[in-house]
Chain A
Amino acid sequence: MKSLAELSAIREKMKGKIALREGSSDTRIVVGMATCGIAAGARPVLNAFVEEINNAGLVGDVTVTQTGCIGICQYEPVVEIYAPGKEKVTYVKMTPEKAREVVEKHIKNGVVISEYTIGNSKL
């Protein structure tokens, strides 16, 4: 059985590692989580990003965060990517599959998937 006590083991294991994670984070993945986003499927999209960033070993470099209504409800789930020195990229009508692709191509290799961005959206 899982118990709360296991969290102190996590605490021990992570000693010293957290300092490295904090502050070095420079890319932000922001997922819209208001009523419109949630109803359109933002929860699995957010979880896919959290999972993939962890799998890719990028936890210190990339933060995944949640925000409220971005204002373009008809394009939800909406995901914004902020990277230092680069223009913000807005992905629309996201799915967990697209999220995994964005981590692979955009986050890891710096290639924006313009097909999924708002500028390219034919809606």
Chain B
Amino acid sequence: MKELSLNILDIAQNSIRARATNVDIILKEDAETLTITVSDNGCGMKADFLKRVTDPFSTTRTTRKVGLGLPFFKMEAEMTGGSLDITSKSEEEHEDHGTVVTARFFKNHIDYIPLGNIIDTVCTLIHGAEEVDFLFLHEYGERSVMLSTREMREMLGDEVPLSSPEVLAWAREYLTEGYAELYR
């Protein structure tokens, strides 16, 4: 992947496929590190699948025997001296099921891939997931950018879908302003 924001889009699609209704995407950043956490309340994974989930030859897809989403993300984190952790509780075994993927990056490492267009990723997720609530939070030092689709829905009511062009345009401007402030 050319941007970490594309990995975030990809990992969040796993949550949607796991029938999650809530997906939290939290970025914590300082001058040296970036920690990306994607957590969901989806169906989760059992211990045996969890153990081999970062192996490229494990996948839930039915069209191919290779799944590269998590292996890529792990490799990209490790290339910078960072790491990737996954914890998961399967719905068969736990009431509070779901998955948490955490990746840590060292930004000053030469192999660090830039975050890229995170605004496009958030807008793409909002566009694609009428049945999922996203909480997006990016903290940089003391400042932060936050967008919650639950809060958006409360303002919009039941009638206006999140995928409406007017709503997506608003989200794009809201995040653009937020980011101008964040990296001020």
A residues bordering B, Cβ < 8 Å?
Answer: 1-2, 4-8, 10-11, 13-15, 18, 33-36, 38-39, 43-44, 46-47, 50, 53-54, 59, 64-66, 68-71, 73
Contact = CB atoms under 8 A, between A and B. Distances in A.
Contacts of A13: 166
A58 to B, nearest CB: 10
B180 to A, nearest CB: 10
Contact of A11 (B13, B121, B157): B157
A53 B163 CA distance: 13
Contacts of B121: 43
A50 B155 contact: no
Contacts of A43: 6, 9, 117, 120-121, 124
Nearest to A2: B174
A81 B61 CA distance: 23
Given A14-B166, A50-B127, A70-B63, A1 B177 contact: yes
Interface of B: 1, 6, 9-10, 13, 17, 61, 63-64, 67-69, 72, 117, 120-121, 123-124, 127-128, 151-152, 155-157, 159-161, 164-168, 170, 173-174, 177
Contact of B160 (A2, A14, A39, A66): A14
A46 B6 contact: no
A19 B150 CA distance: 22
A71 B64 contact: yes
Contact of A46 (B68, B124, B170): B124
Where chain A touches its partner, the secondary structure class is helix
A59 B127 CA distance: 13
A37 to B, nearest CB: 9
A1 B178 CA distance: 9
Contact of A2 (B156, B157, B170): B170
A6 B9 contact: no
Question: Which one of A5, A7, A14, A59 has the greatest number of beta carbons of chain B within 10 Å?
Answer: A7
Nearest to B11: A35
Nearest to B124: A43
Contacts of A65: 128
Nearest to B70: A35
Given A2-B170, A50-B127, A66-B127, A15 B159 contact: yes
Contacts of A66: 124, 127-128
B160 A11 contact: yes
B61 A69 contact: yes
16 contacts: A2-B173, A4-B151, A6-B170, A10-B167, A13-B166, A14-B159, A18-B159, A34-B61, A35-B10, A35-B67, A38-B1, A38-B13, A39-B6, A54-B165, A59-B164, A69-B64
B20 to A, nearest CB: 15
Contact of B177 (A2, A59, A68): A2
A73 B167 CA distance: 31
